[in-house]
Structure 1
Amino acid sequence: MTPYSITTPEAANLLARPDVARLLKPFMRGPRTLSQVAQAQYMRVETLHYRVQQLRRAGLLRVVGEVPRRGRPLKLYEAVATAFVFSADLLSPEALQELSLGKAWLREFMEELERLTGADEQRTVQVSLNNAGALIWGTADELPERPEHPTAYFTQSAALYLTPAEAEELAAELDTLYQRYEGRSGPKRYGLILGLTPLSRPVD
């Protein structure tokens, strides 16, 4: 399928915003009413209506029919395509940076992680050398058990000492691991951030 070509900054900047673009997703699957989408997204119809009008003005969404009912009929909206493409030159510098660095997803990930792990309950911080001689920051407290929450896992390290070939191998392994689970259709959404980058700081 050939992607729909976007030529206006207005449309490009809306698609570059995950919080707005994901509201287009249900309409990319087929015609929907505002109430259907609002209910599925756990949001107010009035809030969705504002975004839908933005998407319509930008040429990303169109009215394709009506659902009869007592009183005024409900409009059926549908996305103009299921795939879009546009030049990065159409984006504002802020939108391009947000999109390329995944800042919006990172904010959502960290907000949810903090909510699930109760970062505000942490009372002790431990700084120590691990067996490899790397300096590690972490919590010396056990995180509270929260059986009502789904599994949350987070680790970070600036203490991987690799050759370029080893880093390439690790990146490939991480990509393979992600692809193993991508496309599954479980009942709960999870966020995953995988990142590996060389650091300019010298080996200490």
Structure 2
Amino acid sequence: MVVKDANAARVLADPDARRFLEPFLGRERSARDAAHDLGENLDRVLARVRRFLRVGLLCITRQEPRAGRAVKFYRTVADGFFIPYGATEFESFESWFVAEFARREESLALSVSKEALAWGASRGHHTVGKRVFRRADGSLGADFAFGPQDELDLLHPAAPAIAYTFAFTDLDHESAKDLQRELLTLAEKYGGRRGGQLYSVRLALAPVRPE
């Protein structure tokens, strides 16, 4: 379904709103089912459901009688949506793209830093800073550490499973495409798993262009 309504486009452009819509996408669910799926409070889900109904993204498929209020079941009005850039309120596609990921990036960075600080404190490290140095290959290194010599061994079995790094490397087009395929294969391998601790994983690749 191509979304033309500005209110519906505003909802679908919001990553948080999309998370609440996901349980109903292409399938029938009650609000209680969705709350269970999301691990969210039922009242929060119901508030989102009411908004989705107002903007025309959800419809009521049926009502199941019971003592008191009937249980309503919902489903998205289409099995998928396309939001044209022109239906959004963003000044440019670039600003939309940045806004889409900025909040997630901030949340990821905060989570990594909290886990790292807690791990460092448990190992007796209470002073944190940043080391700037030249690596063995001659490139510039800059990383956060607990002192000039005290690297945080995140690969230690008891360390939290966190990673946050940027790598700059010269690649020809063929090598860059190989890396692209490897990253997407990795995301597919681990994405969508259920039953454990929820993790945020960010994989990105882009050429560095002059401003």
State the TM-score, normalized to the length of structure 2.
Answer: 0.75
1:191 aligns with 2:164: no
1:42-80 deviation digits (Å, cap 9, x = unpaired): 322222222211111111101112232321222222111
Question: How do 1:1-204 and structure 2 match up within 5 A?
Answer: 4-93=1-90, 96-97=93-94, 99-101=96-98, 102-118=101-117, 123-141=128-146, 142=152, 147=158, 151-157=161-167, 159-182=168-191, 184=193, 187-200=196-209
Structure 2, unmatched stretches of 5+, are 121-125, 147-151
SS in 1 for 2:133: strand
The alignment covers a number of residue pairs equal to 196
Distance 1:75 1:153 in 2: 43
Within 2, Cα distance between the matches of 1:177 and 1:170? Answer: 10
Give the partner amino acid of 1:23. Answer: F
> Contact conserved, 2:12 with 2:83, CA < 8 A, in 1?
no
Question: Aligned partners of 2:96, 2:130: CA distance in 1, in Å?
Answer: 33
Q: Deviating runs (4+, > 4 A) in structure 1?
A: 94-99, 119-122, 143-149, 182-186
What is the alpha-carbon distance in structure 2 between the residues aligned to residue 82 and residue 143 of structure 1? 45
- Cα deviation, residue 17, structure 1: 1.1
Q: 1:46 to 1:7 in 2, by over 3 A?
A: same
The residue type paired with residue 66 of structure 2 is R
Give percent identity, aligned residues only. 25
Structure with more contact order per residue of length (Cα contacts < 8 Å, sep ≥ 6): 1
Over the aligned positions, Cα root-mean-square deviation in angstroms equals: 3.1
How far apart are 1:36 and its partner, in Å? 2.5
CA contact (8 A) 1:12 1:86 kept: yes
Taking a change above 3 Å as real, the CA distance of residues 46 and 148 of structure 1, as seen in their structure-2 partners, is: farther
Matches of 1:75 and 1:194, distance apart in 2: 39
Unaligned runs of 5+ in 1: none
CA separation of 1:33/1:186 partners in 2, compared to 1, >3 Å: closer, same or farther? closer
2: distance between equivalents of 1:93 and 1:38? 31
**TM, length-normalised to structure 1:** 0.78
1:86 match: secondary structure = coil
The farther-off stretch of 20-29 and 174-183 is 174-183
